[in-house]
Structure 1
């Protein structure tokens, strides 16, 4: 009887500490890693780097994180191709990286890639789901990388009105020399890009100030958007951690939904820049400023009051649907597009 009792206690102890069977990290080697909670894929980290053809090289020139819908059936973020092919899921870049007098564009990925080297850590332990990817940023062809980026994506349990929470931490180390990370809000920073099929007439933004001017205001603690894909509306809130570099400017007004914060900063050789952002993803229209402020306080450990806020359509979102139809996502085997310049459409958009 004592042995049976001991076996039962050991079973209970294992059951209490073992990872939930329906939560896991599932890697397809050389392609991507899926983050699974409650039996559903909630995110997919794209790791492929394939130079075998120009098409494959274009599709895989940087790693990024796809966000999935609440059912886990597919991404609600954009991959390669489409409008502004370099906009992909949740991603980091700067179009003006200066090292030793030379400037590199690791936003449009001109003349160099961001390469996932390996996973430094993977955790799927109960409620804890997280991955840390080591990424090297190319300098000149054949030369050592200019930056090393340890990027961690953690997925704490979500609470209503959100179905997914993603904590993003980048630790960017200058490898070659003192480095200036610069550009502008349209072409630098940590950003989120909705799927190509977004209905541009329905995109909305919320800002944490009254009479917001998103083109000029600085250091928003949070901001967010709602967008429609496939007839369904999603909302995404961007929580900017107070430890991030100051004088941060945002780009959060485009009708196609790419939005994020731009950190103009410098890193001395062998030193590390740390960036921290939490993304909250939900279904339906944007939550209230009260809900967002509470979430920001919980993320940062602060106790700030809810500010006055501004809710308004994206620039160009009031155009008639017939003149702004969403374009389909291109097939994976489509030809690589011509090299990109600024995020510019010839007729409607600036930048």
Structure 2
């Protein structure tokens, strides 16, 4: 099973007969499996051998009754070896049922619509749906002209907006001197105990003692009616050298009811072994809510776990001393209050992410997990997570459905 992006589908695309080098038709079957499906993205991978050298730029899909389904052609995702992918949103399918679809791959470009990237070169890029903001990637290069500018630019991260787009719900780049842990930045990824070279140390969580993460370039970008995706090359630096290179990919799907965000990363070391380590509070893939949670509503934060709903401000954390606490959870969720609005963000893990995954929760609005890993020249660190943000307080059963869709996606079979 492919690691990345929602339904990571082991699909085979039937060889098409190209008409005037412009189109190729195919048929596919989508099977729900043992779970009922609602509002889930679906992906089918297409090999180079199936499409030849044709520059595919668009795709159309229709049900057996002729009703069309919005679909999008993209290049391969981060870990995929396919030539491209077909994406669409499956509105609903009962457990055990299947759906027949017909599609056409085309060389003419698709009409520009749906989710869009809007770049402010050298500083940040906004993701919008129409005029509604969904997320922002901050990628300004390291600026060490002043201590304040270094703090502002020593790591890259993604801000996330509320479902209605009216406010940022994540923390980071806050000018308030009372901000709790200013090194926390929205949706972010780093480790405070990294060893490289001849025993040298680096901390890309706090970015102290010369350490930092820096955006180098964009590697790929997609936008359309079903999803947006971008992939960036990010260098990880210690005090003296860049010791690793990351490919970081963020995908956002155009689904109803909230923001469905996919995070994937491949971290390589060109020079040799790198030991990745940390602790639950200062390492891994993490989400940090806006600092107003810490300032005003900490006692209203609720964590939703596979074993049920927690009490307000109650947290559970893996303890490095006793080596006890929550590990290898398939999902966790945090419900927090900003102003008069309550939100819930679900954090979804995968079995093939590195384990033991050690979880942390903070009532001021940060949660996530970390692990230990050793990168070798031929053994990069690859991870894949998903976040779901919506209005209101979610129930454990609803979060569990999101987790099932992530780790047990629909099955797609492509036919002649």
TM-score by length of 1: 0.77
Aligned-residue offset at 1:228: 0.8
Of 158, 168, 174, the residue aligned with 1:75 is 168
* Structure 1 residues 23-59: Cα deviation after superposition (integer angstroms, max 9, x where no partner): 3100001110101124311000001123332211211
DSSP-derived class of the 1:148 partner: strand
1:323-338 alignment, distance < 5 Å: none
CA contact (8 A) 2:336 2:365 kept: yes
Aligned-residue offset at 1:80: 2.6
Alpha carbons of structure 1 residues 211 and 39: separation in structure 2 relative to 1, 3 Å: closer
1:250-261 alignment, distance < 5 Å: 250-252=359-361, 254-261=362-369
* Structure 1 residues 228-280: Cα deviation after superposition (integer angstroms, max 9, x where no partner): 1122111100000111011110012x111110011211111353111110000
Q: Is 1:295–2:402 an aligned residue pair?
A: yes
CA–CA distance in 2 between the matches of 1:271 and 1:246? Answer: 15
For residue 133 of structure 1, what is the aligned residue in structure 2?
A: 232
Of 278, 302, 307, the residue aligned with 2:386 is 278
DSSP-derived class of the 1:155 partner: strand
CA contact (8 A) 2:301 2:336 kept: yes
CA–CA distance in 1 between the matches of 2:256 and 2:166? Answer: 20
* Structure 1 residues 71-118: Cα deviation after superposition (integer angstroms, max 9, x where no partner): 223311011342101101000010000113111111100122100011
For structure 2, list consecutive stretches of 5 or more residues without a partner in the other structure. Answer: 1-59, 61-105, 311-315, 319-324, 411-416
CA–CA distance in 1 between the matches of 2:181 and 2:223? Answer: 34
For residue 153 of structure 1, what is the aligned residue in structure 2?
A: 250
For residue 193 of structure 1, what is the aligned residue in structure 2?
A: 288
CA–CA distance in 2 between the matches of 1:115 and 1:214? Answer: 30
Number of residue-to-residue matches in the alignment: 285
Of 356, 359, 375, the residue aligned with 1:267 is 375
For structure 1, list consecutive stretches of 5 or more residues without a partner in the other structure. Answer: 1-11, 304-351
Q: Is 1:236–2:329 an aligned residue pair?
A: no
DSSP-derived class of the 2:205 partner: coil
For residue 355 of structure 2, what is the aligned residue in structure 1?
A: 246
DSSP-derived class of the 2:214 partner: strand
Alpha carbons of structure 1 residues 211 and 282: separation in structure 2 relative to 1, 3 Å: closer
For residue 48 of structure 1, what is the aligned residue in structure 2?
A: 140
CA–CA distance in 2 between the matches of 1:210 and 1:269? Answer: 42
Name the stretch that deviates more: 260-269 or 145-154: 260-269
Aligned-residue offset at 1:210: 6.2
Q: Is 1:203–2:301 an aligned residue pair?
A: yes
Aligned CA RMSD, in angstroms, stands at 2.2
For residue 191 of structure 2, what is the aligned residue in structure 1?
A: 94
For residue 337 of structure 1, what is the aligned residue in structure 2?
A: none
DSSP-derived class of the 2:386 partner: strand
CA contact (8 A) 2:304 2:395 kept: no
1:101-116 alignment, distance < 5 Å: 101-110=199-208, 111-116=210-215
* Structure 1 residues 119-169: Cα deviation after superposition (integer angstroms, max 9, x where no partner): 11111122121111110011223x3x1111111000112233xx1010000
Aligned-residue offset at 1:302: 6.0
CA–CA distance in 2 between the matches of 1:29 and 1:194? Answer: 26
Alpha carbons of structure 1 residues 211 and 31: separation in structure 2 relative to 1, 3 Å: closer
Of 154, 162, 168, the residue aligned with 2:263 is 168
